[in-house]
Chain A
Amino acid sequence: MRGDGSDLRVLIIVPAWNEQDSIAATVTEIRTCLPTADLLVVDDGSTDRTYERATGAGAIVCSLPYNLGVGGAMRTGYRHALREGYDVAVQIDADGQHDPRFLPRLLERLDAADVVIGARFADKDDPYKVRGPRRWAMVMLAAVLSRVAKARLTDVTSGFRVSNRRAISVFAAHYPAEYLGDTVESLVIASRAGCTVTQVPVTMRARAAGTASQSPYKATLYLFRAVVALLLALVRDWPAQFDDGVTKADTQVRPDAAGGPDAAHPDAPGTDPTEVRR
C-alpha cells in the first residue's frame, strides 16, 4: 500500500451521500489509477444503496449514523488517517467530477506545500464554465483566500485536494461542518495553523449522475452565503470554542496501525493540533 512510486502511505477519502449511481464507477476508477493507495468511502447516512455499491466495488466503507455533511464526513476520514498513521490524505468527490488521473500530479506538489488543491479556472481555456452570481462568489472567495494563503488560488471551493501529515493533524481537529466550511473555511484554518497551500490546474467533468445545484435563485443565495461564510472564517478566533475534536490520544498512532510502527511519527513537527499560530 505504498503510494505512487514513493514510500508514502496514502489514504483516499471519498465523502458520499446518496451517490449510488456513481460511487461504484468512481471507486473503480480511483483504484485503477492508484492501485497502491487505501480507499475509504465515508457513507454519510445515505438512504440508498451507496454502502453496498461502494463495498461491492472494493472500497472500505465507513458509515456515519446520520447525515453530517461533507465536513463531518471529511473529519471522520482525517481522524482515521491521523490515527492509522497515513502520510497523505486525498479528498475526492464521489460524483465522478474529479479525475483521479490528476492525483499523481497533485501528490508530486506535496514536496512544496502541505495542502494541494486540484483547481479549475487556472488556465484561460478551462472548459469548465460557471456564470453569474455563482461565478462572482467563486472569484471573490479565490481572491480573498489567495491573500490569506499567500499563494495564487483560483478555485477554493474545489473538493479535490491532497494533504500531508501536518495538514491531516490540523483537519482531524478542525474541519468545519458549516456551509462552505469544508472547502473555504478549512483553507483559512490550514493557513492560520501554518500550513502552506498551493494548487495544480485540473479539468473537472460534468456530473456522472444525480442533479447539480444550478439555478439563478440558488446561485444568488450561494453568493450571499459565501460572503457570510468567508467573513465568519476570517474573523473567527482559533482554536474554535466548539471544537472538541482531537485529544492527545489521537495524535499517537495506534501501534497496530497498518503501516507498522515505522510509519508512526508522533514527534513530527506540526502534529500537535493544539498548537495553532495566529
Chain B
Amino acid sequence: MNASAVLGIVGSATILLALFEMMRRHRLREKYALIWAVVAVFVLLVAAFPLLLQSVAHALGIQVPANLLFFAASILIMVLTLQHSSELGRLEERTRTLAEEIALLRLRIEQPQGLAPSSSTTQQPDDEHQDGDG
C-alpha cells in the first residue's frame, strides 16, 4: 500500500468519525451529514482501491487519473457551495419575514388603538418631543 492510499483512507475515516461525533452532539443536521457521509465513503473507496480510479479514468480517456479526481472534487465542492448559497437565500427570506412581522407586532403594541383617525393625532412638528426607541 502506498502513501497516497494511506493518506486517503486516514482522511476519509477521520471525516466519517467527525461526522458521527457531530451528529451525536447535535451539531449537524442529518440532511447535511448524509451528503458528507457519501463524500467520505467515496473517498475511502477510491483510496482503498486505486484501480477503480484508474479504470474509470482510462474508460473516459483521461491520461492522468489524478486529474479525474481533481475534476470530480472541484465539481462536488461547487455543487455543495451552490446548495449552501441557495439555503442561505432561503434563510435570508425567512429572517426578512420575521423582521417584518416583528415590526408590525411592535406597531400594534406601541399603538394598540391601531391607526387612529389622523385628525385626533394632530401634533406640531417637534423634534425633541419623543424619546422613542426606534
- Using a CB–CB cutoff of 8 Å, the interface residues on chain A facing chain B are 1, 11, 24-25, 27-28, 31, 35-40, 42-43, 46, 49-53, 55-58, 60-66, 68, 72, 75-76, 79-80, 83-84, 177, 241-245, 256-258
Contacts and interface: CB of A to CB of B under 8 A. Distances in A.
B134 interface: yes
B103 interface: yes
Interface string B99-134: 110111011000100111111011101111111111
B131 A76 contact: no
Given A72-B99, A177-B96, A36 B118 contact: yes
Given A52-B131, A242-B93, A64 B118 contact: no
B50 interface: no
B107 A80 contact: yes
A58 B115 contact: no
A68 B96 contact: yes
B67 interface: no
Given A52-B129, A61-B132, 4 more contacts: A38-B115, A46-B134, A51-B132, A64-B102
Contact of A56 (B94, B116, B119, B127): B127
B103 A38 contact: no
The 8 A-B residue pairs whose C-beta atoms are closest, nearest first, are: A51-B134, A63-B134, A242-B93, A76-B100, A38-B115, A62-B107, A56-B126, A58-B123
Given A72-B99, A244-B93, A60 B106 contact: no
Given A31-B118, A56-B130, A242-B93, A66 B99 contact: yes
A61 B128 CA distance: 16
B115 A258 contact: yes
A59 to B, nearest CB: 9
B53 to A, nearest CB: 37
B125 to A, nearest CB: 5
B100 A60 contact: no
Interface string B10-23: 00000000000000
Contact of A62 (B103, B118, B123, B130): B103
Contacts of A43: 134
Contact of A68 (B99, B116, B119, B129): B99
